[in-house]
Amino acid sequence: MSEAKLISIFIQNLQFRVEDYLVEEITDMQKEIIDEATFIFKDNIVGEIKSFGGSVKQNEEKFDQMMKNATEELKKEKYQDVKKILKDYLKKLSELVLKSCVAIIPVKELPWEEVIFRSIPRITINEKIEFNDHAIAYYGVIKCVLGKTILFGKIKDNDPLFAPVIGNLDLGGYKIDEASEGPISHNYPFISALLQSYDSVVTQNQLAKYHEDYQRHGDPICDFLMDNEDLLNTMEKVWTSMDSGRTSSEIAISSIAFPLPSDKTTLIIVANENDSQEKYSQCFEALLRFSATSCQAPSPPTAQDIQESEPTRTPGGQELKTWTANELAEEAKKRMESQPNMPTWTENELSKYSEDRGSGIPEGMEVWTEEELHELAEKRRGGGLNIPEWKPDEDMLECRNCGYALRPGWKKCPICDTPVNETEKEVEPEKGDDQSEEPPKDNTEDNSDNEDEAGS
């Protein structure tokens, strides 16, 4: 088993969740972060800000038990080769908790009733443990529903783009608990799953597919968003994992619009990995423009609109079944759940497979150079190919009645049953162009002359 797989198994078994350590009493450091995050739009704040921060001290018993379980797990032989890096990972967990904070901010005269700010500290495991604590996110719920999930991201050496998610979003196995109370924007694990999906190869491939297969065009919502230059310029300023160098991928996502059809709303999240003081204003402005423009985007047809419209029929008059966007998404969800172990490939693996398919020619396959192909094309156009013309076999006769070729020894034509002997009697030798036909001689005269000579 690879080291990356072992590390992933250990972290999953750890069942560590930051939300289990959030408390209402925040530290001075967490308060300073929240103050900076809310200062840029303080004139629009109405009511009290609800703040939460991670605390190891107030959850000491829970944290110590988790560390004890992790230490026992590390004693297993299978972790021998990755024990050092996992110990370093465990040492960073307390810092991860302390750097985590959330603020629920009630606002006025904005597309949302409340804006939520959240810090996104991360422990990155490459060849060594790296701790990143500069990433942040703003998110909110707008009172309109988009027809599908929309991503915004960047592809190396190309302009940034909005792209639709075709099928289900990769949430890493997380499933929304429909029975949970409160707005979905307050669901910390769900927001975490959305933010983690930014790094998923499956999610990133949605951008690549729309960029390469659809030439960045065709989806009405994305076309509408791409036509807004002010929105694009604002979104481009937001740093992705590619801009910060946190990952080596050539595709990175910074924003998502996740529709909630049951509530007729859409959750929009913008994350910024910039390490400067401008990150707060960049991120909030992007969220504001993205949210406002999305409220003006084309609305998907409702089920009632589809039912009231004329049904689609074949030329023969057969009515074709139609589906709403929600029905298609539900069917895609069922397929994903029925195939939970569907294999995935990294960007490097897909690139390698593509090179392998395009390199090498099967053994024995004939190959032509460009000059040879050009020469063959010229011969075809000029009739210069050395192809022998077909000629009939001179030893074979043709049926006089139907023209079928007759083999030697046949007594009658197999097609029209004309006797071969009669056919042969009718066949006359070919005459040259300078010969003319002569009438047959009268044998009667010759016979009479012979009789006279005999009588005398």
Q: Residue ranges of the domains in the chain?
A: 1-133, 137-174+182-303+327-334
State CA 135 to chain mean position distance: 27
Convert the chain into a string of H (helix), E (strand) and C (coil).
Answer: CCHHHHHHHHHHHHCCCHHHHEECCCCHHHHHHHHHHHHCCHHHECCCCEEEEECCHHHHHHHHHHHHHHHHHHCCHHHHHHHHHHHHHHHCHHHHHHCCEEEEEEECCCCCCEEEEEECCEEEECCCEEEECCCEEEEEEECCCCCCCEEEEEECCCCCEEEECCCCCCCCCCCCCCCCCCCHHHCHHHHHHHHHHCCCHHHHHHHHHHHHCCCCCCCHHHHHHHCCHHHHHHHHCCCCHHHHCCCCCCEEEEEEEEEECCCCEEEEEEEECCCCCCHHHHHHHHHHHHHHHHCCCCCCCCHHHHHHCCCCECCCCCECCCCCHHHHHHHHHHHHHHCCCCCCCCHHHHHHHHHHHHCCCCCCCCCCCHHHHHHHHHHHHHCCCCCCCCCCCCCCEECCCCCCEECCCCCECCCCCCEHHHHHHHCCCCCCCCCCCCCCCCHHHHHHHHHHHHHC
Cβ proximity of 63 and 21 under 8 Å: yes
Per-residue pLDDT of the chain (456 residues; tens, 9 = 90+): 788 889 989 998 898 999 999 999 999 999 999 999 999 988 899 989 999 999 999 999 999 999 999 999 999 999 998 999 999 999 999 999 999 999 999 998 889 999 999 999 999 987 789 999 999 999 999 999 998 999 999 999 999 999 999 878 888 888 777 666 788 999 999 999 999 999 999 999 999 999 999 999 999 999 999 999 999 999 999 999 999 999 999 999 999 999 998 889 999 999 999 999 999 999 999 999 999 999 999 876 555 555 555 666 665 566 777 777 667 767 776 776 666 666 667 777 777 776 666 555 555 567 777 788 877 777 776 555 555 555 666 667 788 888 888 878 788 888 888 887 644 444 444 444 444 444 444 444 454 454 444 444
Cβ proximity of 96 and 121 under 8 Å: yes
Q: Two tokens at 304?
A: 């009632």
Q: How high is the pLDDT of residue 336? A: 66
Q: How high is the pLDDT of residue 42? A: 87
Q: How high is the pLDDT of residue 321? A: 73
Cβ proximity of 114 and 226 under 8 Å: no
Q: How high is the pLDDT of residue 434? A: 47
Rounded-to-integer distance, Cα 333 and Cα 266, Å? 19
pTM listed for this prediction: 0.67
The C-alpha torsion from 406 through 410 and 412 to 415, rounded to 10°, is -50
